[in-house]
């Protein structure tokens, strides 16, 4: 669904400007019932070329490894996934469920869900660590809950235009171009982060959301404040803490009561530090930054 909201390029651009033939999509696909089965079988047999398989959703293995809890087009979805991954030139996993297993794979994981090549942080997943698509690449992971639509379309275009082999991936097979910087990169609240001024309630325009409201922007890899949502804004710009949804551990603390929208602390110090920051350094920096904070940092200086 997020994909349909893409702007640069849009879903229509994929067809009109880049000549991509979208064989099937839950909302755009024309084939239903028997015709869809025929199409999928045609792809699986190699009769219809499958250049890019874009998969969304976790791979459900329950009950007992059969995958029957998630049937699609007449058989277990996982069986389609296995067959189509064998013939696809490139495989792209979109969203947390397809990449790491997502919320369905949260313990105790009753649906025995997996991502395509990961289960949370552990490599392997449904296809195993050795899996390579026909192009010789592992699954390209585009995580997020949801994934930003432009991340999806830009990766699809890169692959479709013959630049798939140039996509550098990080340790979690995410495109580095999107997932090297942090959600905090480009956040409009960075000056409040620097001066350790906290937002204490939703809707406050001043203050950083990291210190009290559980924002994971300083330790989450995503370009949410570089490639804006709807080309307009982002969670943190709108006063909503980052939930860290592009990281394998999402949802953090398994959504236990009291852990959502609340910075977890141990003896008053954040349990999860900004990436690369040590506890002793954090304490020193906080003391100095608060002492140096200017008056304007405590005031609502945003205007509409």
Partner 1 sequence: MDDSAAREEVRSLLASGLVTEVFPRADSQDDALAITARLRGADGLRQKLVIAGFTLETIVYAGIEQPCSTCMYFLVHRRYCELSELKLPVEPEWSCRLWRM
CA distances from 126 to 88, 94, 97 (A): 16, 15, 12
CB of 185 to partner 1, least distance (A): 22
* Partners of 91 in beta bridges: 53
Stretch that binds partner 1, among 62-70, 108-116, 170-178, 262-270 (CB under 8 A): 262-270
Instruction: In angstroms, give the least distance from the CB of 304 to partner 1.
Output: 23
Distance CA 156, CA 133 (A): 15
Q: How far, in Å, CA of 78 to CA of 18, rounded?
A: 30
Residue 131's Cα: distance from chain center in Å? Answer: 21
Q: Does 107 bind partner 1 (CB under 8 A)?
A: no
Whose CA is closest to 210, among 256, 273, 293, 282? 273
Instruction: State the nearest-atom distance from the C-beta of 247 to partner 1, in Å.
Output: 20
Going by the DSSP 8-state scheme, the letter that residue 250 receives in this structure is P
Annotate 182-201 with DSSP letters as a single string. BTTTT-TTHHHHHTTPBP-S
Q: How far is the CB of 257 from partner 1 (least distance, A)?
A: 9
Minimum gap (Å) between residue 259 Cβ and partner 1: 7
The 17-56 site mask, x for binding partner 1 (CB under 8 A), equals ----------------------------------------
Q: Which stretch binds partner 1 (CB under 8 A): 14-22, 110-118, 127-135, 257-265?
A: 257-265
CB of 234 to partner 1, least distance (A): 22
Long-range contacts of 197-205 (CB under 8 A, 24+ apart): 197/293, 197/297, 197/298, 199/239, 202/239, 202/240, 202/261, 203/239, 204/239, 204/300, 205/239, 205/300, 205/301, 205/302
If binding is defined by CB under 8 A, does position 106 make contact with partner 1? Answer: no
DSSP-derived 3-state class of residue 52: strand
Q: Are 50 and 42 spatial neighbours (Cβ–Cβ below 8 Å)?
A: no
Q: Show the site string, 160-199: x = touches partner 1 by CB under 8 A, - = not.
A: ------------------------------------xxx-
Helix, strand, coil percentages (3-state) for the chain, rounded to 5, are 30, 10, 60
Regarding 262 and contact with partner 1 (CB under 8 A), the answer is: yes
275 binds partner 1 (CB under 8 A): no
CB of 271 to partner 1, least distance (A): 8
Per CB under 8 A, 203 contacts partner 1: no
Shortest separation between residue 189's beta carbon and partner 1, angstroms: 14
108, 162, 203, 258: which one contacts partner 1 (CB under 8 A)?
Answer: 258
For residues 282 to 301, the per-residue mask of contacts with partner 1, x marking binding by CB under 8 A and - elsewhere, is xx--xx--xx-x-x--x---
212 binds partner 1 (CB under 8 A): yes
CB within 8 Å of 60: residues ≥ 6 apart:
67, 69, 70, 77, 78, 104, 111, 112, 113
Q: Report the interface residues with partner 1, using CB under 8 A.
A: 196-198, 200-201, 211-212, 258-259, 262-270, 282-283, 286-287, 290-291, 293, 295, 298
């Amino acid at each position: 669904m997020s994909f349909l909201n893409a702007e640069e390029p849009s879903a229509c651009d994929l067809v009109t400007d880049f000549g991509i033939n979208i064989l099937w999509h839950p909302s755009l696909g024309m084939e239903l019932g028997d015709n869809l089965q025929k199409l999928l079988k045609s792809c699986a047999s190699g009769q219809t070329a499958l250049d890019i398989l874009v998969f969304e959703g976790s791979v459900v293995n329950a009950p007992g490894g059969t995958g029957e809890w998630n049937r699609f087009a007449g058989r277990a979805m996982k069986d389609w996934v296995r067959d189509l991954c064998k013939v696809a030139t490139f495989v792209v996993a979109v969203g947390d469920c397809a990449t790491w297993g997502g919320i369905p794979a949260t313990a105790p994981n009753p649906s025995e869900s997996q991502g395509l090549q990961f289960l949370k942080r552990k490599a392997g997943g449904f296809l195993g660590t050795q899996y390579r698509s026909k192009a010789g690449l592992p699954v390209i992971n585009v995580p997020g809950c949801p994934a930003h639509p432009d991340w999806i379309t830009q990766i699809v275009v890169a692959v479709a235009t013959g630049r798939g082999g140039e996509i550098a991936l990080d340790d979690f097979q995410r495109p580095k171009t999107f997932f090297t910087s942090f959600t905090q990169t480009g956040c409009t609240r960075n000056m409040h982060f620097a001066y350790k001024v906290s937002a204490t309630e939703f809707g406050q325009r001043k203050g950083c959301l990291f210190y009290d409201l559980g924002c994971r922007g300083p330790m989450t890899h995503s370009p949410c404040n570089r490639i804006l949502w709807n080309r307009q804004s982002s969670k943190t710009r709108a006063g909503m803490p980052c939930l860290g949804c592009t990281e394998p551990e999402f949802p953090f603390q398994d959504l236990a009561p009291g852990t959502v929208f609340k910075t977890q602390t141990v003896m008053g110090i954040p349990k999860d530090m900004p990436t690369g920051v040590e506890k002793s350094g954090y304490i020193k920096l906080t003391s100095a930054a608060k002492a140096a904070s200017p008056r304007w940092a405590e005031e609502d200086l945003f205007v509409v």
